[in-house]
Chains A and B, each alone.
Chain A
Amino acid sequence: MKTVIIQYNAGNIRSVDFALRRLGEEPEITGDHEKIRQADKVIFPGVGEAKSTMEYLEARGLDRLIVQLSQPVLGICLGMQLMCEDSEERNASCLGIIPVRVKRFRGDMKVPHMGWSRITGLKSPIFEGVPEGSFVYFVHSYFVPENACSIAESWHGMGFSAAVKRENFYAVQFHPEKSGTTGERILKNFLAL
């Protein structure tokens, strides 16, 4: 099985690579269209800013490539937000896979939402063996509102979507690569799809 991690100008790609290697995978980090298209599993990670990241993807045609992929794709953090319609973060227009607008946390809560929060309402094979209310690690200032594609929820002052799925596209707002054994289980489940 070949797993690729999409290479682009975002942080934490190395962390995802390391996490997969701890699970015995040998992922390739690449921006090459052909390699991405032929992979069995594609991981679309990311920490960073939405608008400049979209511009980077567009400049390399990766935006059009990603939406056409038919194998299981896992977006992580910014990767999840970029799968949405658009974002309040500098009004970025995103990939449009999940038909919802990404919003910024407002109110009294501390932002960024940084730390371990519970996930509930788990409904997908990627959460097999993960108990309701498990803790996972989040770092984000923008969130995906709950929507028809949500497969997990979390809370930070308000409920938000911790994971989404539409067809072959899966995405998580938290960082499975940093979420201890729970995160390892989720990554393993994705790789087993």
Chain B
Amino acid sequence: MIMPAKRIIPCLDVKEGKTVKGIRFEDIRDVGDPVEMGRLYSQAGADELVYLDITASHEKRKTLPQLVRDIAANLNIPFTVGGGVSDLDDARILLEAGADKISVNSAAVRSPELIDKIARNFGSQFVTLAIDARKEQQGWQVFINGGRIETEKELFAWAREGQERGCGEILFTSMNHDGAKKGYAIDALDGLSRILSIPVIASGGAGETDHFAELFRRTDVDAALAASVFHYKEIDITEMKRYLSKQGIEVRI
């Protein structure tokens, strides 16, 4: 069966118009201009980018449409914008600014019909459901507001509901793995890609090239997202793709 190439997606956290990377959601270090950063990533072989306005959920700010316009004007690969998308108007503004997709997280947990509305108006391909979850004794619990508030929702049920409501992709971040650099949450990601018929993006835990190889060997997820390993140049995307390709994993080089 011929599938699309596995996607490698650097994630850029943006705060007040600048790119930063949160280490375990705290202790943020500034690493530059989001537009220039995006262009460099595209040249370096990234397949897609995710920009997350990490201040949005916490301080109720809106992601800046002007920044999205600048990114769209300069980037020749697709990009997703997330953080603080809380209603249809937010989505429309970002679409008109040139975002290829938006991701919804906390607002969708609070009012799940937001997913239906965005999908109906702008198409499923435009809405990614981002889910932050942590494994606890009773299972994978969904968190909102940048991992600060635990909810009643369970990961797998919520992902399935998101698909039924019309989201085009699921972006799952394991809070247990995020920042630890010991590999992705293989079991949960394997479970998600088995029960879903839409693409799954893995997030949280990448520390070395073999973590990506392991992810694509052991699960059917479509894409791997990572931030710090790319930001701090611990992993070169093109070199990693060559390595993955040698392992028989289809990637775009």
Structural contact, A112 and B124, CB atoms closer than 8 A: yes
The CA-CA distance from A183 to B42 in the complex, in Å, is: 13
The CA-CA distance from A139 to B7 in the complex, in Å, is: 13
Structural contact, B1 and A184, CB atoms closer than 8 A: no
If the complex has contacts A11-B122, A110-B198, A178-B78, are A117 and B4 also in contact, measured as CB distance less than 8 A? Answer: yes
The CA-CA distance from A155 to B100 in the complex, in Å, is: 22
- Closest chain A residue to B95 by CB distance? A11
For the complex, would chain B's binding face be called helix, strand, loop or mixed by DSSP majority?
loop
In the complex, chain B residues whose CB is within 8 Å of the CB of A139: 78, 100, 125
Q: Encode contact with A along B85-117: 1 for CB under 8 Å, 0 otherwise.
A: 000000000011110100000000000000000
- B151 contacts chain A at the CB level, 8 A cutoff: no
If the complex has contacts A48-B123, A135-B252, are A116 and B4 also in contact, measured as CB distance less than 8 A? Answer: yes
Q: Encode contact with A along B207-248: 1 for CB under 8 Å, 0 otherwise.
A: 000000000000000110000000000000000000000000
If the complex has contacts A156-B4, A157-B2, are A112 and B73 also in contact, measured as CB distance less than 8 A? Answer: no
- B204 contacts chain A at the CB level, 8 A cutoff: no
Q: What are 14 inter-chain pairs, A to B, with CB distance below 8 A?
A: A15-B100, A22-B73, A22-B74, A49-B123, A111-B198, A113-B4, A114-B4, A116-B4, A137-B77, A139-B125, A141-B125, A156-B2, A178-B76, A179-B77
Q: Encode contact with A along B21-54: 1 for CB under 8 Å, 0 otherwise.
A: 0000000000000000000001000010000000
Structural contact, B2 and A14, CB atoms closer than 8 A: no
The CA-CA distance from A21 to B73 in the complex, in Å, is: 8
Q: Encode contact with B along A115-143: 1 for CB under 8 Å, 0 otherwise.
A: 11100000000000000000101111100
Interface size range of chain B in the complex: 20 to 34
The CA-CA distance from A112 to B128 in the complex, in Å, is: 12
- B186 contacts chain A at the CB level, 8 A cutoff: no
For the complex, would chain A's binding face be called helix, strand, loop or mixed by DSSP majority?
mixed
B124 CB, nearest partner CB in chain A, Å: 6
The CA-CA distance from A11 to B126 in the complex, in Å, is: 9
A193 CB, nearest partner CB in chain B, Å: 21
**Which A residues from 1 to 52 make CB contacts under 8 A with B?**
11-12, 14-15, 18-19, 21-22, 47-49
If the complex has contacts A18-B72, A178-B77, are A135 and B5 also in contact, measured as CB distance less than 8 A? Answer: yes
Cross-chain pair count, CB within 8 angstroms: 94
B residues at A contact (CB < 8 Å): 1-5, 7, 42, 47, 72-74, 76-78, 95-98, 100, 122-126, 168-169, 197-199, 222-223, 252
The CA-CA distance from A113 to B1 in the complex, in Å, is: 13
A27 CB, nearest partner CB in chain B, Å: 13
Structural contact, A180 and B42, CB atoms closer than 8 A: yes
Structural contact, A115 and B7, CB atoms closer than 8 A: yes
The CA-CA distance from A115 to B124 in the complex, in Å, is: 14
Q: Encode contact with B along A136-170: 1 for CB under 8 Å, 0 otherwise.
A: 01111100000000000001110000000000000
- A91 contacts chain B at the CB level, 8 A cutoff: no
In the complex, chain B residues whose CB is within 8 Å of the CB of A178: 76-78, 100
Structural contact, B5 and A115, CB atoms closer than 8 A: yes
| Contacts A49-B123, A157-B1 supplied; 7 other A-B pairs, CB < 8 Å | A11-B95, A21-B73, A110-B3, A112-B125, A112-B198, A140-B125, A157-B2
